[in-house]
Structure 1
Amino acid sequence: MDTVYSKGEALVQCSKFLDRHGLRRSAAIPDSKAPLSTSGAARYVADRRVPYISAICSEEAAVHYGVPVVRRNIADSPDNRTKFHAYARADARIPEGFAEAARRAAGGK
């Protein structure tokens, strides 16, 4: 492995690991104008099937795209947590129980 693809924030949050192993970082897919996400990085690595590139992504994305997980817990801070948010238009119909489930998933009551 020599190049790791992921979204910029993920690369920054794992910079000590990447530096320690001398890995190059890329927050963009060559010849693409689309912003790179962590799951997009997993898809890119899966599509290329070459041994010298890798991705920082969720385990779910790795499994979904068939990319083997080679190392877990590589964030600089052991307390690192990525937060996800759901957005909708003001007039959108929100499924029953969605807000309650989201609060529980976030550790709220």
Structure 2
Amino acid sequence: MIRLVLPTEDYEEQVLDYKASFERDGDSLDGIAGLLNFRTFKEWYEALLDNSCEATVREGLVPATTFLAVDENDRLVGMVDLRHRLNDALEKCGGHIGYSVRKDERRKGYATQMLSLALE
């Protein structure tokens, strides 16, 4: 069983490890609010905060809420990005929800749980 939590500095090490695992495995990092585009957790976290509401969303992006999916041991197993609205690009490819699950945690039903929790 997992739960969705908002990112905080407490998860910095796990978020960076999550990013590294996807880079190492050559996987697509979806639903992670552009994590690949940032060198540090702080830069990414500041962008998350900016992009969480219409008044401060960065140019070319849409407001969104990014959640970490953590298991019963508080281990980061996935991420889900819930977009509050779409732009033209997301209308064609992307949609309202983007998500990813780390490779070693796939095929355990986490993505299904994440989508269900995000829709709530």
TM-score normalised over the length of structure 1: 0.31
1 or 2, which has the higher strand percentage? 2
| TM-score, normalisation: structure 2 | 0.30
Greater Rg by CA = 1
